[in-house]
Structure 1
Amino acid sequence: MEKALIAGATGATGKKIINLLKESPYIEPIAMIRKEDQKSIFEDQKVQWIMGDLAQDLSHICENMDKVIFAAGSGGTNVVEVDQEGAKRLIDASVSNNIKKFIMLSSMGADQPEEMEELHDYMVAKHHADIYLRNSGLNYTIVRPGALTNDSGTQHIQLSHKLKEQGSISRADVAHVLTKVLQDDTANKETFEIVTGDTLIGKALETMSTLEM
């Protein structure tokens, strides 16, 4: 089995990613945790964990890993150090360890942060992190959802390189998309936006190659 490091594993979306990958016969999730008292969350689920802090040295964190999902966030309190520079540290560690694929959970608006009055600093941080990943030489997928909700997942989305309107999407459906694109042949070196829609997630990802830029 391949091992996928999940940065942000203790967050609302990260926990859903872990739960999905626990059922995978192909990929074992490895939860990245920052505090000792977070160990029990994953030990109780029989999920492997590794200590790492996005604001600190991460040179060790990708050893023996195959893929990475960055689903971490500072919650708006330290966006440059965590959402931007923390992402860059993890990207650098991934490059050093020849990670096969790096999945970035970004956000709608990260391509044009100057137009986003709300969460402007966060969007700027995500913008720089996305560019850094694209220029890293890694195989990557950058997923930019609309506003995240805690609604139940529908397994149906609207997907485009650039959606015409803002929208929302459940964390459950975002987690499904992130785990789907871990597959070697899915959305390689692609950046796309997603909101709730009418197309099954798998079908939406299959049709990516036919989308206009």
Structure 2
Amino acid sequence: MNSESCIFLAGASRGVGREIANCLSGGEVKVRALLRSPASGPELERMGIEIVMGDALDLAAVEQAVADGPAISAMISTIGGLPKDGQRADYLGNRNLIDAAVKAGVGKFILISSIGSGKSAVALPPQAMETLKSVLIEKEKAEEHLINSGLTYTIIRPGGLKSEPATGNGVLTEDYRVAGTIHRADVAALACACLHSDQANNKILSAIDRQMAYGQTDFEVLDI
């Protein structure tokens, strides 16, 4: 990616998205963050990140946010969470972002999903799957929409998330049976590494901390 490229980040106001913003700030590549609420805007702007306002559930707003400014070389989405007017952003919001990325000719799309989605359902205990089922169904639909979009993609499914500082022990694996926990800052570091790694292209990857794996600890790590 050259100095003229721009990374579009959705979900920068909190969680993994904020950690990705931290990871990308101060670099040579411009970052444009889509925000639904202006509350976190000033802090992100102090980090050198361009802010565009819009709701991911509004396709026209997303397309406008993508079109305003330099061409987007890569898009990262961490959005999801509580329903708005009965709609979760996990699928509908990500679908709009993916469709806008296709329309704009974005080079790469990185989607932060969750262990338990798709085939990785086998990695979670039945009780956890039952609790998270409605969310994971939406996340899986988003994953499928991205895979079928024609975009170059990387889907990262983190395990249980913690907010402590990065450990540096975060790893990615194509082994969908793996489960564990990982710090949000380590997920962010892995996502940022995937931006520049062809090894991560068109792959679905589970993300855990090597020191915090559950059960199965013998798995192949993707070298990015």
Question: What TM-score, normalized by structure 2, do the two folds share?
Answer: 0.82
Helix, strand or coil: the match of 1:10? coil
Amino acid at match of 1:171: R
**Which residue pairs with 1:48 in the alignment?**
50
CA distance 1:61–1:184, change in 2 (3 Å): farther
- Segments of structure 1 that go 5 or more residues without pairing to the other structure are 208-213
Contact preservation (8 Å) 2:170, 2:190: no
Following TM superposition, by how much is the alpha carbon of 1:59 offset from its aligned partner in structure 2, in angstroms? Answer: 1.9
**Which residue pairs with 2:172 in the alignment?**
159
Contact preservation (8 Å) 2:9, 2:76: yes
Contact preservation (8 Å) 2:160, 2:181: yes
- The reply on whether 1:111 has 2:118 as its aligned counterpart is yes
Helix, strand or coil: the match of 1:181? helix
**Which residue pairs with 1:173 in the alignment?**
186
Helix, strand or coil: the match of 2:23? helix
Which of these residues, 55, 60, 63, is aligned with residue 64 of structure 2?
A: 60
CA distance in 2, matches of 1:149, 1:191: 21
Contact preservation (8 Å) 2:66, 2:100: yes
- The reply on whether 1:206 has 2:215 as its aligned counterpart is no
Amino acid at match of 2:93: G
Question: How do residues 1-213 of structure 1 correspond to structure 2 at under 5 angstroms?
Answer: 1=3, 2-25=5-28, 27-57=29-59, 58-63=62-67, 64-74=71-81, 76-78=82-84, 80-112=87-119, 116-183=129-196, 185-197=198-210, 204-206=221-223
CA distance 1:99–1:109, change in 2 (3 Å): same
**Which residue pairs with 1:210 in the alignment?**
none
Helix, strand or coil: the match of 2:32? strand
Contact preservation (8 Å) 2:153, 2:203: yes
Judging by fraction of residues, say which structure has more helix. Answer: 2
Count residues in correspondence: 201
CA distance 1:164–1:61, change in 2 (3 Å): same
CA distance 1:29–1:204, change in 2 (3 Å): farther
CA distance in 2, matches of 1:168, 1:107: 11
Q: Deviation digits for residues 3-46 of structure 1, max 9, x if unmatched?
A: 11110010121111111111323x22211111234331222323
* 16-25 vs 95-104, which moves further: 16-25
* 96-105 vs 31-40, which moves further: 31-40
Question: What TM-score, normalized by structure 1, do the two folds share?
Answer: 0.86
Contact preservation (8 Å) 1:105, 1:142: yes
Identity of aligned residues (%): 29
- Segments of structure 2 that go 5 or more residues without pairing to the other structure are 212-219
Structural RMSD (CA): 2.2
